[in-house]
């Protein structure tokens, strides 16, 4: 049985008019890099180059930080409602340009249209939540904490923050998880955009500027790792938000934290599902198909591993293969495409190498996505849906993040064995259980190590008022992105204790604790 591919001539849609040379943004100005070096950008659906991103110099990266530092005092001094008004206007701009941004994500990242639209909509969701920052920034007040003494606490911005983002969500991660809460709380920002997919971020920053953002509040660069490392130790940077691989995330965490900065580093995952024999089988399989193959598996909340009870393993596997074969592999911008390309030739090779590793390790390859060719798009970076069965403990394909459309099935005897296998992972981003048993669901939610848990939900990404809370080696830091955690990350608490004297008080002796100790 062959993988289902679309069959529309490439000449009819999506052809690039030429190579677009991009600029970087400092202090509200779009500039050409002085390095003379550029990084090629490709349309993953065709494999053709469509642009080139500047490789900014160390001086240009430092200039971005300097611009953000200059902009901070004036921006922080603006009343919170004024900052939120910029977010309101930005949200309107994003709504107006939703179709344009959707196509841009699809073109540079390879997500099919529905996924690309979702990427932008999730960014808009966080922008909407950031419009309530004045509530989330509220402090606390207690009168008469000691006789005549009152204490009030409130949250203040810190200064310049840096965002270092990956390729897989060019809209949601920088302009959802990071920038909205960072700037509405009063900070300024330097975005190190993903070098493979910077065009979405560039366009969204243009729209943010059109919404009335003052110059220097958000700056954008693309650069190599050497220049990006400067941001981790820069004395004017107060904090770093990072999303990417565990190895780089750990480096970012150690380096930036070692220089006294706040850090949140969201890293890899190997999310597991536990499928019990009382599940609603067809709906369960359809949910897993979406969770595993959505975004071509290039998301940290993908569901690449399924622990299924042996009593239903055979019908489960048969149905999974049947539904996987129904997926239409094709270019991102075709409405009928359901599985787009990998983001790059390198990512495609990496996934194909992982498939070869799985075969070598002895897992049973039920569906092989290597060698998929879409007529008219032979240069595209396509990998079809892939299924491994009988993945045993110790096989690296079942333990390490592949970041592609690959499902690994681990057959288990019961709930306890399945949970134990999941808990053995060094990652704990998300997990889910498919069952009709309330007791099993509650037990699972209580005992799983994962920070985001789904009950019959394959992608349990929380709404933006809740934190995106990975655990174990899926996260390094203390405060997660989004929600109250996100606001806390971008602010610090100041407590003010006051007392007002009468003439009689002025003559009294001042105690060691200046009156704030409530008992002797």
Please report how many Cα atoms fall inside a 13 Å half-sphere around the Cα of residue 323, on the Cβ side: 20
Helix, strand or coil, per DSSP, at residue 306: strand
Compute how many other C-beta atoms are within 10 angstroms of the C-beta atom of residue 506.
Answer: 7
DSSP letter, residue 485: H
Helix, strand or coil, per DSSP, at residue 519: coil
**Which residues share a beta bridge with 152?**
141, 496
Helix, strand or coil, per DSSP, at residue 39: strand
Catalytic residue at 300?
yes
Residue labelled with tokens 């709906």: 283
Distance CA 63, CA 421 (A): 49
Q: Which of 55, 279, 296, 300 is catalytic?
A: 300
Residue 297: Cβ-neighbour burial (10 angstroms; 0-12, 13-18, 19+): buried
Among 394, 322, 392, which Cα is nearest to 364's? Answer: 392
Please report how many Cα atoms fall inside a 13 Å half-sphere around the Cα of residue 68, on the Cβ side: 33
**Which residues share a beta bridge with 500?**
none
Distance CA 48, CA 62 (A): 33
Which run of H or of E encompasses 252? Answer: helix 246-258
List the strands of the sheet with 406-412, edge to edge: 364-367, 386-389, 406-412, 305-309, 272-275, 430-434, 452-455
Compute how many other C-beta atoms are within 10 angstroms of the C-beta atom of residue 142.
Answer: 11
Helix, strand or coil, per DSSP, at residue 431: strand
**Which positions are annotated as active-site residues?**
300
């Amino acid at each position: 049985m062959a993988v289902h591919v679309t069959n529309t001539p490439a000449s009819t849609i999506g052809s690039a008019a030429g190579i677009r040379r991009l600029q970087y943004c400092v202090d509200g100005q779009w500039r050409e890099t002085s390095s003379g070096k550029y990084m090629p950008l490709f349309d993953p659906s065709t494999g053709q180059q469509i642009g080139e991103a500047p490789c900014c110099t160390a001086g240009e990266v430092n200039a971005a930080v300097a611009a953000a530092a200059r902009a901070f005092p004036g921006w922080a001094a603006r009343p919170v409602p004024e900052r939120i008004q910029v977010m309101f206007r930005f949200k309107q701009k994003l709504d107006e340009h939703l179709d344009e941004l959707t196509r841009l994500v699809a073109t540079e990242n390879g997500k099919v249209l529905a996924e690309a639209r979702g990427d932008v909509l999730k960014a808009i969701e966080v922008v909407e939540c950031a419009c309530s920052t004045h509530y989330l920034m509220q402090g606390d007040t207690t009168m008469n904490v000691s006789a005549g003494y009152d204490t009030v606490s409130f949250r203040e911005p810190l200064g310049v923050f840096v965002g270092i983002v990956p390729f897989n969500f060019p809209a949601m991660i920088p302009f959802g998880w990071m920038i909205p809460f960072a700037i509405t709380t009063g900070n300024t920002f330097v975005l190190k955009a993903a070098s493979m997919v910077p065009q979405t971020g560039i366009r969204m920053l243009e729209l943010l500027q059109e919404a009335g953002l003052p110059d220097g509040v958000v700056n954008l660069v693309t650069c190599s790792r050497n220049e990006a490392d400067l941001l981790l130790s820069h004395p004017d940077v107060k904090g770093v938000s990072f999303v990417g691989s565990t190895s780089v995330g750990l480096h970012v965490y150690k380096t930036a934290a070692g220089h006294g900065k706040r850090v949140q580093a969201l890293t890899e995952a190997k999310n597991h599902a536990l499928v019990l024999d009382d599940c609603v089988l067809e709906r369960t399989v359809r949910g897993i198909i979406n969770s595993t193959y959505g975004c071509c598996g290039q998301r940290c909340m993908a569901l690449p591993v399924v622990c299924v009870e042996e009593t239903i393993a055979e019908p489960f596997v048969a149905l999974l293969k049947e539904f996987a074969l129904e997926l239409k592999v094709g270019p991102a911008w075709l409405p009928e495409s359901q599985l787009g390309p990998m983001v790059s030739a390198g990512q495609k090779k990496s996934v194909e190498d992982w498939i070869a590793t799985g075969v070598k390790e002895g897992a049973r390859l039920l569906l092989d996505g290597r060698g998929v060719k879409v007529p008219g798009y032979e240069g595209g970076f396509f990998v079809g849906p892939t299924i491994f069965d009988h993945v045993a403990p110790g096989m690296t394909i079942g333990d390490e993040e592949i970041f592609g459309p690959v499902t690994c099935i681990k057959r288990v005897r019961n709930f306890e064995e399945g949970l134990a296998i999941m808990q053995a992972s060094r990652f704990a981003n998300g997990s889910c259980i498919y069952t009709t048993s309330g007791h099993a669901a509650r037990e699972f939610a209580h005992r799983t190590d994962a920070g985001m848990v789904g009950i019959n939900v394959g992608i349990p990404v929380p709404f933006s008022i809740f934190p995106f809370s990975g655990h174990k080696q899926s996260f390094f830091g203390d405060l997660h992105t989004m929600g109250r955690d996100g606001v806390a990350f971008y602010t610090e608490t100041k407590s003010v204790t006051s007392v007002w004297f009468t003439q009689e008080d002025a003559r009294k002796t001042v105690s060691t604790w200046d009156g704030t100790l409530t008992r002797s």
